[in-house]
Structure 1
Amino acid sequence: MRGVADGAGVDLEDIILLNARYDLSHISNPSTTCDDPTRSLHQLTSEAEDKPYYPSYPRASSECTSAIILSEATGNGEVYTAQNWDMSDRLYKEDGIIYLEVHPHPSENLPSLFLVTEAGQLCRSGMNSDGLGLCANSLCSSIDAIPFSLDTGVGKGEMPAIPPSSALRRLFLESPSYADGLKRVARTPRHVSCNLMLTTADNMGICLEITPRIIFRISGSAGSDTPYILHSNHFKTQSFLCQSEIQDTLAGGSSWYRADRLEVGIRRKALIGFLTESDIMNAFKDHAGYPHSLCEHSARKATEGPFVQPGRPNPYSGSTCTVSCVIYNLTKRSIKVCKGPPCRGNFQEFALKRAFESSRLLGQQTHHALRRVGLPHPNDNSHLNDKFEAIQAPIYHHHA
């Protein structure tokens, strides 16, 4: 973020705030703030559970539909992750959607990245040169909370470091392996809910429904009943639906049918192993429920509705649309992406190749040599995992 700020000639705080857009937009109940920042995140979210929750009507219920598609579904045996990203149509009309190809310096010992994101943000979705892919969808739960007092700020004591969600997504894609990436996601503290679709070219995918306290998951791999996982913006794991401590606070909306419509477009061919990249692209162009369809088109949302809490303002009532459609081929390390609704978008194709491979291998050798003599590599953050252990979220599992 400091590099983005320096390059744009703006204050670092502005870039941090921009990257925290998702996190800030999911907080609307000041009763869940923490007056004593020395209390743990677990204590804070436990208190939030005991307070009334109000569905956030209907803002985040139209923000992304994603897919993990395993090799058993495809005619060429390739692995994909893909997404329609729905957001304020200003991002599309004002050209705020950008594609980033990132090749870190060899000394950083990091994979190359291709990212689709908002200008100034670290990551919305992406893939790396090692075959890891990530798509993200909004979720809201009754234990999403502000981790400090609105009146006094951080105040006395020390809170655990809570990075914005965009940083967590980038952290996964910079991981040296799928296992390490999953560890980073599980151990990084958070104060709002989100859904991450995490895939590897090794033909595995995991859908994580993440809350501040618990992670609910669906796994997909060779031998799964269905060779794909689909998700939109409401909780759907059986382990979540079988509990009552945490509530899904999205009040209906297109999230309840968008993933179903995506399945209509891919299921028949996927189950017999003949799904193609063109089939995936066409499935994302579905217009059932237009304009709030899987392929969403600009339409202003109602500013009033059957609020559970009378007088509660709609957090976002502007016009929304699909601002980008992207298909990541993790096997070939290729990307097809367009800006705007996919039914009329101009798809471009990119190939992600790892830059500076020989230099990166040299960097790995330097890293191992430093570790052998007890010295940390300048970019080694593994010691940070220890500070997150105490607030690691439990994980509930459900097979696809």
Structure 2
Amino acid sequence: MIEPIPFVDVSGSPYERGRQHGAAVTSRVKRSIELYGGQLGDLGYDREAKTELIGEFAEEIEAFGAHYIEEMRGIADGAGVSLEDVIMINARTEVIAKARMVKNRPVEVTDEHDDGCTGAIILPERSATGELIHGQNWDWRAECAETAIVLRVRREDGPDFLTFVEAGGLARCGMNAAGISITANYLECDRDFTQAGVPLALIRRKVLEQEHLAFAIKAVAATPKACSNNMMLSAVQGFGIDFECAPDEAFPLYPEDGMIVHANHWVGAIALTKVKNTSIPRVPESFYRDWRVKKLLDEAGRKLTVTDLKDALFDDFLSPYSVCRPARPNEQGNLSATVAMVVMQPARGIMEVAPLPAQNRVFTRYSLTEEPMLLAQAAE
């Protein structure tokens, strides 16, 4: 049996929350560092060069929010690792890309191209319960099943939130007590890494700190980025929106027939006139992954359930290049897989997660207010 994703519950000041996080999952934090720090070593970065490189990102993060650095400092102290290594976890896409550029190595062969993902939002008018459903498959390095956690952050300075994230990270996908949810998908274009920007993980964290969707949208659409990303936002009151983000511009996509589905290629008509989609060599299957999820959801009927979304995300059409990806070697020789399926019901304050869903259909239910619960295996 594949073990459930560990649950970490933290509270207090930013530093104290971080310290609790690092102490609770020390081995997983160290595994995260091993996975990404190894890439810098392969590029010829010694300790001094690594410190200088990551120090530049610390300045950008602190300008975006000093409390983020405090929380990372707490994680480092709790896990007994260096602050720079925790910053690296939170800015891994940008750090590795810059490291490659400094060494005159092409950015387009970074491991970030394993970061597939297929996401979906089902609005209340298409939901059998009248409640919004928001979920995704996270496609990435299979080893990250060994680093993933579900983190519940109890805050005194804003809404509590749940996030599925790599240990040592501040956020990935998640939902908060104000009913705001976010998932994200890899995108790529010809503007990537031509400017400095806030690391993507910190933008997602900023979203989860917001009381109102308007400010979550501002965080996604108005924050400069170093590289492209697709970010899907929803509000429990019954609204969803998708932003295809280039580093310096964000293009909104609205629901169609009560749903949004997005994979890893640009689809917005305006975006396609302004940016060049450079991801096709890495994720050519993206063109049918979102089509398959839409097709399966439409075939499930007008009123959709959480089970319907899970079934669509379990799809193995044209496996192993499928919506639900079994572990397989990628072009760089790493094992790539759907690391986890995450399905959120913000009206109920719950998130269900199945690690490595191509070989495991057992979900654990995590809650904003209750303890985790192991669920029965999903139907085949």
Query: Given the alignment, which residue of 336, 348, 361 partners 1:320?
Result: 336
TM-superposed deviation, 1:175? 0.8
Question: Closer, same or farther in 2 for the Cα pair 1:263/1:27, shift >3 Å?
Answer: farther
Question: Closer, same or farther in 2 for the Cα pair 1:101/1:29, shift >3 Å?
Answer: closer
Verify: 1:259 aligned to 2:305, yes or no: no
1 CA distance for matches of 2:313 and 2:180? 22
Cα pair 1:64 1:85 within 8 Å, conserved: yes
Please give the secondary structure, in 2, of the residue aligned with 1:166: helix
The C-alpha deviation readout for 1:32-54, integer Å capped at 9, x for no partner, is: x9xxxxxxxxxxxxxxxxxxx99
Please give the secondary structure, in 2, of the residue aligned with 1:196: strand
Verify: 1:124 aligned to 2:175, yes or no: no
Q: Corresponding residue for 2:318? A: 289
Q: Corresponding residue for 2:265? A: 234
**2:269 aligned partner, one-letter code:** Q
1 CA distance for matches of 2:117 and 2:359? 16
TM-superposed deviation, 1:276? 0.9
Query: Given the alignment, which residue of 155, 177, 193 partners 2:212?
Result: 177
Verify: 1:60 aligned to 2:76, yes or no: no
Q: Corresponding residue for 2:142? A: 89
2 CA distance for matches of 1:58 and 1:130? 34
Cα pair 2:189 2:277 within 8 Å, conserved: yes
Structure 2 residue runs without a partner (length 5+): 1-71, 371-380
TM-superposed deviation, 1:293? 1.0
Cα pair 2:320 2:328 within 8 Å, conserved: yes
Question: Closer, same or farther in 2 for the Cα pair 1:62/1:17, shift >3 Å?
Answer: closer
RMSD between aligned alpha carbons? 2.5
Question: Closer, same or farther in 2 for the Cα pair 1:61/1:284, shift >3 Å?
Answer: same
Cα pair 1:112 1:353 within 8 Å, conserved: no
1 CA distance for matches of 2:203 and 2:110? 26
TM-superposed deviation, 1:2? 2.1
Cα pair 2:114 2:140 within 8 Å, conserved: no
Please give the secondary structure, in 1, of the residue aligned with 2:348: coil
1 CA distance for matches of 2:99 and 2:361? 34
Verify: 1:329 aligned to 2:353, yes or no: no
Q: Which has the larger radius of gyration?
A: 1
Verify: 1:111 aligned to 2:159, yes or no: yes
TM-superposed deviation, 1:7? 1.7
The range that moved more, 72-81 or 331-340, is: 331-340
Please give the secondary structure, in 2, of the residue aligned with 1:331: helix
Verify: 1:341 aligned to 2:372, yes or no: no
2 CA distance for matches of 1:59 and 1:30? 15
Query: Given the alignment, which residue of 350, 362, 384 partners 2:366?
Result: 350
1 CA distance for matches of 2:107 and 2:368? 43
Task: Name the TM-score, length of structure 1 as normaliser.
Answer: 0.69
TM-superposed deviation, 1:25? 4.7
TM-superposed deviation, 1:352? 1.5
Verify: 1:6 aligned to 2:67, yes or no: no
Task: Name the TM-score, length of structure 2 as normaliser.
Answer: 0.72
Structure 1 residue runs without a partner (length 5+): 34-52, 149-161, 303-315, 355-400
The C-alpha deviation readout for 1:201-260, integer Å capped at 9, x for no partner, is: 01111100111121111123xxxx41110111111111112x1x4211112422121111
Higher relative contact order (CA 8 A, sep 6+): 1
Question: Closer, same or farther in 2 for the Cα pair 1:249/1:296, shift >3 Å?
Answer: same
Question: Closer, same or farther in 2 for the Cα pair 1:103/1:283, shift >3 Å?
Answer: same
Question: Closer, same or farther in 2 for the Cα pair 1:102/1:13, shift >3 Å?
Answer: same
Cα pair 1:234 1:255 within 8 Å, conserved: yes
Counterparts in 2 of 1:168-207, with a 5 A limit? 168-207=203-242
TM-superposed deviation, 1:330? 1.5
The C-alpha deviation readout for 1:110-156, integer Å capped at 9, x for no partner, is: 111111011111111000011100001111111111547xxxxxxxx
**Which protein is richer in helix relative to its size?**
2
Cα pair 1:56 1:249 within 8 Å, conserved: no
TM-superposed deviation, 1:62? 5.3
Q: Corresponding residue for 1:71? A: 124
TM-superposed deviation, 1:317? 3.6
TM-superposed deviation, 1:29? 7.6
Please give the secondary structure, in 1, of the residue aligned with 2:300: helix
Please give the secondary structure, in 1, of the residue aligned with 2:337: strand
Q: Corresponding residue for 1:268? A: 299
2 CA distance for matches of 1:323 and 1:231? 18
Q: Corresponding residue for 1:278? A: 307
1 CA distance for matches of 2:310 and 2:294? 12
1 CA distance for matches of 2:275 and 2:340? 31
Question: Closer, same or farther in 2 for the Cα pair 1:291/1:169, shift >3 Å?
Answer: same
2 CA distance for matches of 1:25 and 1:136? 19
Please give the secondary structure, in 1, of the residue aligned with 2:214: helix
Question: Closer, same or farther in 2 for the Cα pair 1:247/1:197, shift >3 Å?
Answer: same
Verify: 1:98 aligned to 2:149, yes or no: yes
